[in-house]
Amino acid sequence: MSIEREREDIKIEMINGQKIISMSPAFSNHAIVKLNISLIFGNHLRNSVCMVMPDDVKVVLDDNSYVEPDMFVICDRSKIRENGVYGCPDLVVEVLSDSTEKRDRGTKKDKYQESGVKEYWLVDTRKKMIEVYLLTDSSYYLDEVYRYPNPAESEEDQAAAITIFNVNTFPELCIDLDEVFRNVADW
């Protein structure tokens, strides 16, 4: 990989005045899942005022914080400017990676909560599951974990696994884990 390519993969964010630099692999299950989710939402919202935005769009949450979520949906187009989005999105998706999981579950989740993001997803490509957090009374709560049944679990736990669900922010949108994790490699 050339130095030029590596520089394109660097993501710079700032949370509460602290700069954060991270890198994403150029091609991985992470990229496949981001694309799959973006296509699902994009197809559903194509005739809507809401827009699906990719991970290279800066979201300015306040004077001291900006992020580049893996994917997000914005329904208030007045927040969209030439150099980014100013204000909180309606829904944010972060696809977990080894280098970002702690931050996605910690400082970024806290910042999204503080900023008023209504629905926050954490997507784990290894476990092939999605955690959905909803904002209620200015705090996130874990609404549900969507996952495949695990043969090592009890029959009751296997039966509790949910693989198809409706999105809280867009209740008419049905998500199937088979579509989210389509073409994900088992490595």
Q: What is the DSSP string of 13-74?
A: EEETTEEEEEE--SSSHHHHHHHHHHHHHHHHHTTSS-EEEETTS-EEEETTEEE--SEEEE
Using DSSP's 3-state secondary structure scheme, residue 101 falls into: helix
- Rounded to whole angstroms, the Cα distance separating 147 from 138 reads 27
Fold of 27-180: tt1808, chain A (3.90.1570)
Read off the pLDDT of residues 93-135 as tens digits, 9 standing for 90 and up: 999 988 889 999 999 999 999 999 999 999 999 999 999 999 9
Residues 77-101 have pLDDT tens digits of: 999 999 999 999 999 999 998 888 9
The residue extents of the domains of the chain are 27-180
138 φψ region: left (φ > 0), alpha (ψ -120 to 50), beta (else): left
E strands of 64-138, at which residues?
A: 65-67, 71-74, 80-81, 84-86, 91-95, 119-124, 129-136
> Mean pLDDT in the chain?
89
Residue type, 50: C
What is the band of 5 on the pLDDT scale with cuts at 50, 70, 90? very low
Residue 165 confidence class, pLDDT cut points 50, 70, 90: very high
How many angstroms separate the CA atoms of 85 and 123, rounded? Answer: 23
